A = this chain, B = another copy of it.
Amino acid sequence: MAQKPGIPKGTRDFSPAEVAKRNYIISVIRKHFELFGFQPIETPSFENSSTLMGKYGDEGDRLIFKILNSGDFLRKVDDALYTSKDSTRLTGKISEKALRYDLTVPFARYVVQHQNEIDLPFKRYQIQPVWRADRPQKGRFREFYQCDADVVGSQSLWQEVEFVQLYDTVFSALGLKGVTIKINNRKVLSGIAEVIGEKDKLIDFTVALDKLDKIGEEGVKKEMLEKGISEAAIEKVQPLFRFTGTAVEKLDRLSELLGSSEEGTKGVEELRFICNTIEATGLEAATLDLDVTLARGLNYYTGAIFEVAASGVAMGSIGGGGRYDDLTGIFGLKGISGVGISFGLDRIYLVLEELGLFPETVTSSSRALFINFGEAEALYSIKAIQSLRRSGIKVELYPDNAKMKKQMQYADKRSIPFTILVGEDEMNKGHYTLKNMQTGEQKAVSLKELTEVLAV
């Protein structure tokens, strides 16, 4: 009985055109990762459950895909536990492996496991799929790629400078102008918490402040008061409500505001070094913007926080990252600082599509189709095809001696720009009739001319 075929929700098939475009983005990212001295590693798709569980919070634990043990997996489950029919308890007994949830925890595991083969600072990149049992929705999938670059083993702020440059050059190479690289620092956020007097109100505070554009200063202050932040505290951070200007101007105001906080002052200094250096070296296509409301991944970042926004399209962040001071501590290797950034492949794809920025040369199609008129003609054609392919030109032979109309339609549907016709006349003269599928124009050419026309 034939089944109606389908794929699991939240997963995708990628067509040739989609793969070509995705590979284009990945190749640009990979090229720049390597230019910046990052080295590729790959880790297994599934890890021991103990490596992943407990690393992403309770929500994360639930969203990790677990793999059922092979064979008679119930045999070793003791009857008392089995009888309880408790999914959570049973999971630990019948599943020992789980699909990768992100690239950061496997990277930390890799660094600890291979610490004797690695030279610190270790600059690695990793471009691999991850899986999350999230409820699928527009733009959120259960299988998606992450493209990460991280450095471990150095606290130098030159890394942060280079990550800003890396974002700039990648988006510039993709033709994406006007990208904003937002930067903040966890220590600045801690400083603000100190200044407003209540550490536990920090998230309420930044969430409210983030709405400044939408609800105005009065609206923000109202929300802050509702969340229990005192008027005195709000008064103290008044400069944040007129927080415009260049990064340097903003830093001067922050510096004054956070003068009483040692940690806040350290954060301002770090940001100043990064912003001044970027000012001195310049950016190609992006703008660096200091955004004190940026609180992404507040739980684990300890220094710089990055997020990238495209301009001209309504789209969430297309990249993000930051510094985490104790990346490998969970696996027993203490005191190794890490900093890294990530590129959001799916969103970058949507942005490039919407702005029409994929180059025309990004295609999976052949340059020309040789029409098949029979055995002798096909043999004559296949020799030319061999030669063209050796010159790096994608060409194909229609495999069957089908009606010419059918073969032409095939070329047309696949957007193959040229067809090549070979009959007795061409074979006698050593020629090829080249047809431009767009204009309909035909001309007789030699193999040399054919090679020149088809080379891109």
Q: Is A28 an interface residue (CB 8 A)?
A: no
CB distance from A234 to the nearest CB of B (A): 38
Q: Which residue of chain B has its CB nearest to the CB of A22?
A: B42
Q: Which residue of chain B has its CB nearest to the CB of A399?
A: B156
A32 to B281: give the CA distance in the assembly, Å.
41
Q: Which residue of chain B has its CB nearest to the CB of A329?
A: B2
CB distance from A134 to the nearest CB of B (A): 9
Interface string of A1-40 (1 = CB under 8 A from B): 0111111100111111001101100000000101111011
Interface string of A242-281 (1 = CB under 8 A from B): 0000000000000000000000000000000000010011
B70 touches A394 (CB 8 A): no
A128 to B66: give the CA distance in the assembly, Å.
21
B51 touches A5 (CB 8 A): yes
Of A6, A42, A332, A390, most buried by chain B (CB within 10 Å of CB) is A42
A278-314 CB contacts (< 8 Å) to partner B:
280-281
A40 touches B13 (CB 8 A): no
A121 CB contacts on chain B under 8 angstroms: 399-400
A329 CB contacts on chain B under 8 angstroms: 2
A394 CB contacts on chain B under 8 angstroms: 34-37
A414 CB contacts on chain B under 8 angstroms: 119
A40 touches B20 (CB 8 A): yes
Interface string of A310-339 (1 = CB under 8 A from B): 000000000000000000011110000000
CB distance from A40 to the nearest CB of B (A): 4
- The residue from B45, B331, B365 contacting A2, defined by CB atoms under 8 A apart: B331
A117 CB contacts on chain B under 8 angstroms: 15
Q: Is A230 an interface residue (CB 8 A)?
A: no
Q: Is A47 an interface residue (CB 8 A)?
A: yes
Q: Which residue of chain B has its CB nearest to the CB of A73?
A: B87
Interface string of A370-393 (1 = CB under 8 A from B): 001000001100110010011011
Q: Which of A159-167, A194-202, A432-440, A442-450 contacts B (4 or more CB under 8 A)?
A: A159-167
A57-106 CB contacts (< 8 Å) to partner B:
62-63, 65-68, 70-75, 77, 82, 85-87, 90-91, 94-97, 99
- The residue from B22, B48, B131, B165 contacting A7, defined by CB atoms under 8 A apart: B48
A67 touches B68 (CB 8 A): yes
Q: Which residue of chain B has its CB nearest to the CB of A393?
A: B35
User: Number of A residues whose C-beta is below 8 Å from B?
Assistant: 111
Q: Which of A108-116, A205-213, A214-222, A420-428 contacts B (4 or more CB under 8 A)?
A: A108-116
A12 CB contacts on chain B under 8 angstroms: 44
CB distance from A274 to the nearest CB of B (A): 12
A68 touches B45 (CB 8 A): no
B67 touches A65 (CB 8 A): yes
Contact (A280, B40) CB under 8 Å given A66-B68, A70-B133: no
Which 6 pairs of residues, A with B, have the shortest CB-CB distance?
A2-B332, A37-B396, A16-B39, A11-B44, A156-B399, A19-B40
Chosen A-B contacts, 27 in total, with CB atoms closer than 8 Å, are: A3-B51, A5-B331, A6-B48, A7-B48, A12-B44, A13-B41, A13-B42, A13-B43, A13-B114, A16-B40, A16-B124, A20-B39, A20-B40, A35-B392, A35-B394, A37-B395, A45-B45, A62-B70, A63-B70, A67-B67, A68-B94, A68-B95, A71-B87, A75-B87, A121-B400, A161-B382, A162-B382
A interface with B by C-beta (< 8 Å):
2-8, 11-16, 19-20, 22-23, 32, 34-37, 39-48, 50-51, 62-63, 65-68, 70-75, 77, 82, 85-87, 90-91, 94-97, 99, 109-110, 112-114, 117, 119, 121, 123-124, 129, 131, 133, 143, 151, 154-156, 158-159, 161-162, 165, 169, 277, 280-281, 329-332, 364-366, 372, 378-379, 382-383, 386, 389-390, 392-397, 399-400, 410, 413-414
